Structure 1
């Protein structure tokens, strides 16, 4: 495996974008390479949608044109993130084998004409895909431009689940491997309910459209199976690449906090994590969504630098209204990715398409050519990244961990629950934002992780909690850790069966409480939450909770806040429990941001977790990346006003050479500074 940190002249922040020479006449290619060099491009992604061009007919190969593309890039000193070309099957494949086409839960077939028109379980698709990968890897294994392999593309973007007969057979095979016997399956799925007992695996179907609520355990397993089916496509291609190019790194581009694809499971099979992230310029809090996703990518492979493989230079084409990024936003958001661990900043796409569904999606080189704001901003950013190659390979260190779990996410958002308004992504970000705003570094991990090195662990929601993970949390607190858990956690096991013993059974002793009843709040309803004098953090007058409430009975914990009115008036809303040498906190409602920030500030201070810089101005992000030789402090102003940041010691701004050492930094709106001790 290639090292994740390059040395010598190869140490740099890679910069570039998706390159589609097949969309253009060959005489344009020389201009592409010339302008890439002018823009500071060092790496391009190529071949993503080239299958129909390199295999125009079954088994007939035409790589000559792509050879010239690779050679042109290599001669210019550019590197290639080389796609396996399998993301969109050519029309001839679905004409010959219509059985590869996916079906929806109500039996409708999805047809060619877009992309990703394949059933993930299809052995025919995998056969043709791996045959193509064999050709590509054999041909370019030793090519001097090859930097990293890019397998598939945005798995689960358009086809998240398939319900066809091929998938049904694959699901039955998967269940037989998971449960062994149908009796074990019946127990796991609670099939005594509604006369659903199976006599053999052959009777089991995917959770297709049914008259009423489907079996939740069946739905959960189908979500697991669907993720695994997508991953099996990836692993089939990976096996070819490992055999033919064992020393070349492999990645695939995940989408932002993408529910169908378990990032932690996929990370186990990648050499470097890659993310596609498209900010919405209309959303003033978009940097907060980015912050969560960037921390997730950095954490998924133990803090290793990752790749922002796709973002938009300006506008996208697929939202109802597509605003361009205002001046400075593209630079700010790109540097945010670097500040949170990225060693490659890439775009979709290099040259803006003239036709097709993405012709109005922005590009590094727009329709208007080089005399455009987008090209000027991109080129300037390329020069900035080239000026600080030492950042590549440095890492961040966190004393706080936020736990999330895809299995729990899948189970939480199924139907027939106390409330279907719970949104795991929003709940996660509501707990991540107070840490981000305070300037606290945070790793995002699965609950199976080793927690001993963290001073504070935050659990936004683990509705599904395995018994061994619950014991791990208890040991963490018993050994002196500070743990904060929020509502509706520890309710069911991995089969989506309620833990016996009263809610939240696996956490009752740790939290020192029992939840007697859930009281979800109606849309728009808020309940006052009042602090208990001298018991904990002060809550501002007017603090409220929404979305959720619970009837909590104390079993050793103490209330630090109570509900101020309604059916639960006077009942605990926030609790604290000394357990062993540590403390476990519980939040039984969704607090507003200000109250949640105050609570988490109190808890992290008790844990001894300090921000990167104290007293950060509102809207300013501060992060650190370092190694044995360098320590970089990144300051980014996401606010609407200018800000002055006091530094703990004299530092130099690497983006303003010659400015000398300073003790404070002035940041305009969308301003960026990279300080080095």
Structure 2
């Protein structure tokens, strides 16, 4: 079925069977094309060990198939039923303090538990054998939000699995001792059996041990996913398999998982009380799109209005749900789904909004949801189209993990915040941006931005150097290139693997006190303002200072530099520049790189993106999204028609200017030769 999928989580087990017919009728009226079903149904289909009750679920899927609604079928393994933890309490996870996490919520399993995995795989085999070839089955949804609640387990089962993982990674205890720098604090191991997870200790656990445990924990979660995926691929070949990732989710390396997902899928819940949350959304959406080389992705969960789990759960004001849904589509989503279809009457999420609220169909939420379904259904040609970017922003989970392990010059360094500070000026300038790992091929980009790569391997550093030598423009920010993959400092002075490329040496780190800023000046006033969070004492070794610190102990030392290298140039920033200065800097580098925005001269707060059919059949779609609450007028370089205009006549009439209402959306269409 071609088109943008629309729908949400469907949990019919929460309701008497006579409600199901009404659900199907209302779903059809709301233009629902896909639901995710069965996420938390394990206890219902296997109420006792080895006793299966699929009859009710058969009726659910059969009804959805008759209604023409596709199903993203969950494997039901996200939360084990009570009987499993009662019979096998060893599956329950433990924290670093040794405290067991008990049933009563969800995700109460140790990812390394062979007992949990065996029961999960047995369930998936039953599901896949039963529903292979079912007309409703469109794709598989494995687990749910891996690492959301049980991010790491520190029990004895996990300890044994960790030792197995270490043996495979290092081969010998001598190699582990070298990698972990165990000569420090008398930590040398004589055997792998002496190694434990980084449990609560009298003081800082070994940083390299913590880093490897983060890697191991991610791999353990992924092994749960892969064990289920193997069954699905064997029993239902050709049916796509995915799972729902979470935004900027530290425990799960989205780039590592992307190789095992047939399509990227995301749960994203904007905060109505965060005025700039659409920028965070932009970063995450671009990462999802980039993780599989531009392939469209799926928004599997969002809220129609308020959630239930923040300290203050504000509703989405009128128009916000529509705007943020179209933002996902504008940045590559081929599905807009919600949690959930019908709002629960009980349980922990009864105050979480749903497509069909407690108040029924005569509610603002349901009217807005239904209107969105009609809009998405009116533009099926968008599905499958792609976006192109000339700018890449580098992100790396291993560097993130290492950066936020304790015993650093500052505990204020936050990977996500630093990344967003570098992404914001690109987003606000309407410059398309890929979010990619440092191992990705970079030669197709005119500009590469490195917000912070504390951990940088020698191989990846050479890749950056080769990119600049070949003519690329590179922006690198503070505290990058400091340690190798084992969290060991690169010898040769900071940042050793980047010194030649950047043309400078960092003599000393000067992290700033909480709440303090440092003045920066230079570039004939272009870079005059302030930085915060961090500063560094820099010695130039061929680079040219564009701006300097103008106060404090580092007064007169470089703050922003540029170094011509090969046919390109490398720029370095020794502090976190305030947003205005970061925008000025990236605008200057973009000009040097020849990178232009999607549309020039747009009002502040208006986002513009483009999706195109790679085969030229369906043409080009330009999305305009007004993240302001007041209307704005936009001048277009050529007359274009807005496919979302109020009347069919207006939708077919090209115009040179368009007015966007507050939180308004326009989809400007340019037909391709095959349209």
Query: Taking structure 1 as the reference length, what is the TM-score of the superposition?
Result: 0.98
Shift of 1:616: 1.1
The more displaced of 643-652 and 490-499 is: 643-652
Q: What is the aligned counterpart of 1:621 among 595, 607, 613?
A: 607
- Is 2:530 the counterpart of 1:539? no
Match of 1:7 in 2: none
Q: SS at 1:31's partner residue?
A: helix
- Is 2:539 the counterpart of 1:553? yes
1: CA distance, partners of 2:625 / 2:309: 28
1: CA distance, partners of 2:662 / 2:556: 44
Q: What is the aligned counterpart of 2:52 among 57, 61, 85?
A: 61
Match of 1:608 in 2: 594
On the 8 A contact 2:537/2:554 being kept in 1, the answer is: yes
**Alignment map for 1:405-554 (pairs within 5 Å):** 405-533=396-524, 538-540=526-528, 543-554=529-540
Q: What is the aligned counterpart of 1:374 among 365, 372, 379?
A: 365
Q: SS at 2:649's partner residue?
A: coil
1: CA distance, partners of 2:266 / 2:138: 17
- Is 2:580 the counterpart of 1:594? yes
Match of 2:636 in 1: 647
**Alignment map for 1:89-108 (pairs within 5 Å):** 89-108=80-99
1: CA distance, partners of 2:628 / 2:514: 30
Shift of 1:648: 1.4
2: CA distance, partners of 1:602 / 1:246: 50
Query: Which digits, 9 at most, give the CA deviation of each residue in 1:199-230, with x for residues without a partner?
Result: 00000000000000110000000000000000
Q: What is the aligned counterpart of 1:672 among 662, 665, 674?
A: 665
Query: Which digits, 9 at most, give the CA deviation of each residue in 1:106-157, with x for residues without a partner?
Result: 0000000000000000000000000000000111110000111000000000
Query: Which digits, 9 at most, give the CA deviation of each residue in 1:171-203, with x for residues without a partner?
Result: 000000000000000000000000000000000
On the 8 A contact 1:273/1:297 being kept in 2, the answer is: yes
Q: What is the aligned counterpart of 1:41 among 16, 32, 38?
A: 32
Shift of 1:644: 1.1
Query: Which digits, 9 at most, give the CA deviation of each residue in 1:294-321, with x for residues without a partner?
Result: 0000000110000000000000000111
**Alignment map for 1:118-517 (pairs within 5 Å):** 118-517=109-508
Shift of 1:168: 0.2
Match of 1:6 in 2: none
Shift of 1:269: 0.1
On the 8 A contact 1:532/1:559 being kept in 2, the answer is: no
On the 8 A contact 1:39/1:383 being kept in 2, the answer is: yes
2: CA distance, partners of 1:114 / 1:48: 14
On the 8 A contact 1:455/1:481 being kept in 2, the answer is: yes
Shift of 1:158: 0.1
Q: What is the aligned counterpart of 2:569 among 561, 583, 604?
A: 583
The more displaced of 644-653 and 293-302 is: 644-653
Q: What is the aligned counterpart of 1:18 among 4, 9, 15?
A: 9
Q: What is the aligned counterpart of 1:661 among 634, 654, 657?
A: 654
On the 8 A contact 2:9/2:338 being kept in 1, the answer is: yes
Q: CA RMSD in A?
A: 0.6
2: CA distance, partners of 1:474 / 1:301: 25
2: CA distance, partners of 1:547 / 1:640: 32
On the 8 A contact 2:70/2:136 being kept in 1, the answer is: yes
Match of 2:673 in 1: none
Query: Which digits, 9 at most, give the CA deviation of each residue in 1:45-81, with x for residues without a partner?
Result: 0000000000001111000000000000000000000
2: CA distance, partners of 1:217 / 1:643: 52
Query: Which digits, 9 at most, give the CA deviation of each residue in 1:325-382, with x for residues without a partner?
Result: 0000000000000000000000000000000000000000000000000000000000
On the 8 A contact 1:532/1:562 being kept in 2, the answer is: no
On the 8 A contact 1:560/1:574 being kept in 2, the answer is: yes
Query: Which digits, 9 at most, give the CA deviation of each residue in 1:391-436, with x for residues without a partner?
Result: 0000000000000100000000111110010000000011001000
1: CA distance, partners of 2:92 / 2:197: 16
Q: SS at 1:475's partner residue?
A: helix
Q: Structure 1: state its 5+ residue gaps.
A: 1-9
On the 8 A contact 1:574/1:588 being kept in 2, the answer is: yes
Match of 1:3 in 2: none
On the 8 A contact 1:654/1:676 being kept in 2, the answer is: yes
On the 8 A contact 1:120/1:229 being kept in 2, the answer is: yes
2: CA distance, partners of 1:622 / 1:418: 39
On the 8 A contact 1:13/1:345 being kept in 2, the answer is: yes
Q: SS at 1:658's partner residue?
A: helix
Shift of 1:95: 0.5
Shift of 1:591: 0.4
- Is 2:626 the counterpart of 1:633? no
Query: Which digits, 9 at most, give the CA deviation of each residue in 1:69-101, with x for residues without a partner?
Result: 000000000000000000000000000100000
Shift of 1:469: 0.4
1: CA distance, partners of 2:598 / 2:17: 51
Shift of 1:641: 2.5
Q: SS at 1:665's partner residue?
A: strand
Match of 1:562 in 2: 548
Shift of 1:640: 2.9
User: Which portions of structure 1, spanning 4 or more consecutive aligned residues, are displaced by more than 3 angstroms?
Assistant: none
On the 8 A contact 2:630/2:663 being kept in 1, the answer is: no
Shift of 1:668: 1.5
Figure out how many residues of one structure are paired with residues of the other and give that number: 663
